[in-house]
Amino acid sequence: MQDVGALALLPVVTILVVAVLTRRTLFAMLCGTLVGAVLLGGWGFFDSWIGYFGASMADETLQWLMLVVVLFGILITLFERSGAVREFAAWAERFVNSRRKSTVLSFLLAIVLFVDDYLNVLTVGTSMKAVTDRYTVPRTELGTIMKLTAAPIAVIVPFSTWALFFAGLLEAQGVTSNGSGFGAYLESIPYIFFGWIALAIAALVAFGVFPKLGVLKKDIARAEATGDVFPVGTTADERAAEGALPLDAEVGEFAVSGDGAERAVAAAPADAPAAGPATGATAVATRAPELAKPRPWNFLVPITVMIAVTILTEVDVLKGTVAALLVAIVMYTAQRRLKVKAVFEAAFDGVGSMLFVIVLTALAFMVQHMNIDLKLADFVIASTEPVMIGALLPAMVFLVCGVYAYATGSFWDLAAVITPIVIPLALAMDVNPIIAGAAVFSGAALGSTTCLYGDGIILASRSIGIKPLNLMSAILPYAGIAAALSLIGYLVVGFLGL
């Protein structure tokens, strides 16, 4: 390990600057890892880079995440090829007859999927973009609503992957209530300010009563004027990957409708796989005819099985995803929606669709390992220690954790590293350790909600078919407001001595 002081910030700064200048997240991540390799390995930076790549691939957390991502990629492809998503969208549209109802339904679905933030963003994005597209809701707005909900709801509902992990951290530090860390976590929930405030903002955005800010304001105005729900700069290939055609294109017999309300159906065999729905001022060639009575159960049953198995297996998302995949395969082959050969083709294509996410996530884990060896956490903590007085401790912990999580893409790892430092510090300063722990958890949720190369943003952007930078840029103003209000909240409880 090397202590390079402020230079430990250089890889993170490089990633952010290159991403903004080039709008290419993968290239920015590669540049950041190269800078980190130079700092750690000097002239032997190439060997250093290879070593950290190997270390990240050997990380059990990354291996688990890759399995989840790959399996979910296969499941999403099966949903699309079988027409399950298209039917769910058609069914949901019976209850959604306005723009506001489409965004509110997206928010409510994100609340229901509180079990895990990965499960949340992948499911909401996959299922709801077809519905919101119909009402020209920008993809960035859908992404903002679901990301402002995913980690915050997971961190304040005690029966989620986040809550169980954080409860374990509290118990490991001897912080318990009624003899358990879970009891202490229950007491901390009212003080996880970022979670509550972000959820409130997400609800207000979904209901259309929160002011439109920054990039999202421009995207909404553009979507309303042109019907295009994709961010500026989206290429034809990226649109095609989402099943969308160029603006003003024609499909089959039908000209594209300017209001995005019509769908075009191309002549094709009835058992051909279905493409996505119409998108804004674009249209989509659906290879299968529209069903007079859509059957949403082909989508809802696998998702329900996923949630149920995840909960029943002590919140194991991997087992839940496997169960949903098996149920989907049985249902679609039994109904003759897909032949066995088509299932295997969908599996290969599903894995391929997630390659970008896998590579980006592997590079993100490299950055995390490099930050540990560069002692970035030690530098950040040492820089804030001079102002770490008791009344300021909760606010400073939240600020440090939020900035560190945003800069590094490390959330659970951050909590695992910071909690053993913060809890003894809080006890020494006569600060309520439960509130100090809540500040750590709030900071982790803030990072997950905003970090450009965090797994939450990467998976969410994949599910709605836009770039991570577009999604992060839209979210930042709203998450920034939630963070500022949370900071004020921790200052208040700190000075009140709660």
Count of positions (residues) in the chain = 498
| Dihedral, 19, 21, 23, 27 alpha carbons, nearest 10 | -50
Helix (H, G, I), strand (E, B) or coil at 255: strand
Query: What is the C-alpha separation between 373 and 364, in angstroms, rounded?
Result: 15
CA-wise closest residue to 478 among 454, 450, 453: 450
Report d(CA 380, CA 5) in Å as an integer. Answer: 9
What's the confidence (pLDDT) of residue 261? Answer: 31
Instruction: Output the CA angle 289-294-295, nearest 5 degrees.
Output: 125
Q: Where are the beta strands (DSSP E) in 125-192?
A: none
Alpha-carbon gap, residue 492 to 240, rounded angstroms = 50
C-beta of residue 123 within 8 angstroms of C-beta of residue 85: no
Q: Rounded to whole angstroms, how far apart are CA atoms 442 and 193?
A: 7
Helix or strand holding residue 109 (H, E): helix 99-112
Residue 254 forms beta bridges with which residues?
A: 251
How many CB atoms are located within 10 Å of the residue 240 CB?
12
Question: Residues 6 or more apart from 335 whose CB is under 8 A from it?
Answer: 298
Cβ contact 280:226 at 8 Å: yes
Tokens of 90: 């058609």
pLDDT at 384: 66
pLDDT for the residue 489: 95
Token duo for residue 448? 């997950």
Token couple for 105: 């339904």
Question: Which residues are within 8 A (CB) of 416 and not within 5 positions of it... i.e. 6 or more apart?
Answer: 169
Q: How many whole angstroms separate alpha carbon 261 and alpha carbon 99?
A: 12
- Which neighbouring-strand residues pair with 265? 286
Residues 6+ apart with CB under 8 A from 345: none
> What DSSP element (H or E) covers 264?
strand 264-265
d(CA 154, CA 115): 6
Compute CA distances 418 → 180, 346, 372, 414, 433, whole Å.
Answer: 20, 42, 12, 6, 13
Place of tokens 């295997």: 344
- Check: CB of residue 147 under 8 Å from CB of residue 445: no
pLDDT for residue 292: 55
| First vs last C-alpha separation in the chain | 39
CA angle 259, 264, 266 (to 5 degrees): 165
Best CA proximity match to 277, nearest among 466, 73, 91, 468? 91
**What's the pLDDT score for residue 24?**
77
The residues spanned by each domain of the chain are 62-358+372-498
* Class of residue 54 by CB neighbours under 10 A (exposed 0-12, middle 13-18, buried 19+): exposed
**What secondary structure does DSSP assign to 174-242, as a single string?**
T--BTTBHHHHHHHHGGG-HHHHHHHHHHHHHHTT-SPP-HHHHHHHHHHHHH---SPTT--HHHHHHT
How far apart are the C-alpha atoms of 478 and 471, rounded to whole Å? 12
CB neighbour list of residue 323: distance below 8 Å, 6 or more residues apart: 305, 306, 309
Calpha distance 412→61 (Å, rounded): 10
Its pTM surpasses 0.75:
no
Exposure class string for 213-236: b at 16+ Cβ within 10 A, else e: bebbebbbebbeeebbbbbeebee
- Looking at residue 217, its pLDDT comes to 94
pLDDT of res. 438 = 93
pLDDT tens per residue across all 498 residues of the chain: 556 777 888 887 888 788 778 767 788 888 989 998 998 888 888 989 999 889 888 888 788 778 877 887 888 888 878 888 778 777 877 778 889 999 999 999 899 888 778 778 888 888 888 889 989 999 999 999 999 999 999 899 887 778 877 888 888 788 888 878 888 888 999 999 999 999 999 999 999 999 999 999 999 999 999 988 998 877 777 676 666 545 444 333 323 333 333 333 333 333 333 333 333 333 333 333 444 577 788 888 988 888 888 778 876 778 888 999 999 999 999 988 888 898 899 888 888 877 877 887 788 788 878 877 887 767 766 776 666 677 888 998 899 888 878 877 767 767 777 787 788 888 888 889 999 999 999 999 998 899 887 888 988 998 898 989 899 999 999 999 999 999 999 999 988 876
**Alpha helix (H) residue ranges in 374-467:** 376-384, 393-408, 412-428, 433-450, 455-464
Q: How far is the C-alpha of 117 from the C-alpha of 299, rounded, in Å?
A: 19
